[in-house]
Amino acid sequence: MSKRNLIFIIFVLIIGLAACGDDVVQPYDLEADGNFAALAEPPLQEEPDEKEESPAEVISTEANDEETIEKASPEEIREILNNIPWAMVNIPDTGLQWFEQTIVDSETGKRIAIFIDWVYGWRSPPTASFHSPEEIIPDNVWHTSIFNTHQVQWLDDPTMPGAVHHPELSVLAPHLGPHIMNVWLHSHIEETARRIFGHEIKFPPRQSAGVLQSYNFAGAYVYSMVFGLGPAGYVRAVLSYECIGDGYEVVCVWVFWADGTLYSDHTQREEIPEDELLSYLQTTTNIHTITLRNNPDGGFYYWAHILPE
């Protein structure tokens, strides 16, 4: 056999073996059995880096390990949700109280200012006047109620303030995103509205929109926030108040605040210099009239709100 033919045969054999692809037993798949030794050592496999599980991953893992959680139906979850007690009203730290407290100079005035600030936080005033809670448009108090309601969570994590621990709510984990660990209950939001306004206010279930995600479990809704909001919003100045029987009538001004600067309204067209703030408050026609009623717990009900004419 000529040298050229031998080279050709070897070349054909190599091509044939390559064409077999995955069907060819690779050398490191063969095991020594006493009679036949592996032709080659398997390649070294790098040990995977140890990864510390995040709280969300731990929750998800624990939830998936529980057969009862996997089998929980929407109706069963609804029953669990309906048995979660409403917690006391959450009082968020808006960081804006300093503005109101520079305007009023009595203990009652400060209580009134802090209460109004607590009710609205950085949020805008209502879009329609109401003379009693029966006239309130639910959409106008939705955000007030949700942000003054404690969230509930199934992880006992002290680093997550403003949430109440209920381990039985781990049934929610398989149904929510991997990083969601606390939610608002729709029924709790309605109860907060009743506690603030002294009247039962029903909200239609909200659909997912913007930063709010909603979840429906056989008619019981829960909500989660996707991300936080920026440093802008409204602050209020209580100019005066008058005792009216079982409550107070309050004269108040809404001012827009953004990045440490005050503006006359949300359009940010008219900046209010610090040395002109008092003059602006005393001369503006952007006056809101608020009625507060005393409640049995020693606080207030937000009873009425008349917008500027």
- End-of-domain residue from the set 195, 225, 255: 225
238 and 219 part of one domain:
no
Whole-prediction pTM value?
A: 0.69
Residue 219 pLDDT exceeds 90? yes
pLDDT at 193: 93
Distance CA 215, CA 43 (A): 48
- In which domain, by residue range, is 168 found? 55-91+137-225
Average pLDDT of the chain is: 74
- End-of-domain residue from the set 192, 225, 258: 225
Contact 284, 252 (CB under 8 A): no
Residue 88 pLDDT exceeds 50? yes
Distance CA 63, CA 156 (A): 14
Q: How far apart are the first and last CA of the chain?
A: 110
CB atoms within 10 A of CB 139: 13
- 300 falls in which pLDDT band (50, 70, 90)? very high
197 and 279 part of one domain:
no
Asked if residue 150 belongs to a domain, the reply is: yes
Contact 264, 280 (CB under 8 A): yes
142 and 252 part of one domain:
no
Bigger pLDDT: 49 or 249?
A: 249
pLDDT at 196: 93
Asked if residue 37 belongs to a domain, the reply is: no
The CB-based long-range contact list for 214-218 (8 Å cut-off, 24+ gap) reads 215/172, 215/175, 215/176, 215/183, 216/74, 217/74, 217/75, 217/77, 217/78, 217/81, 217/175, 218/73, 218/74, 218/75, 218/77, 218/78
Asked if residue 118 belongs to a domain, the reply is: yes
Token pair for residue 95? 């960081």
Distance CA 202, CA 200 (A): 7
Distance CA 89, CA 121 (A): 14
- 110 falls in which pLDDT band (50, 70, 90)? confident
Residue 67 pLDDT exceeds 60? no
Distance CA 125, CA 143 (A): 11
Token pair for residue 150? 């404690």
pLDDT at 22: 39
Distance CA 24, CA 1 (A): 29
Place of tokens 């989660």: 224
Bigger pLDDT: 14 or 28?
A: 14
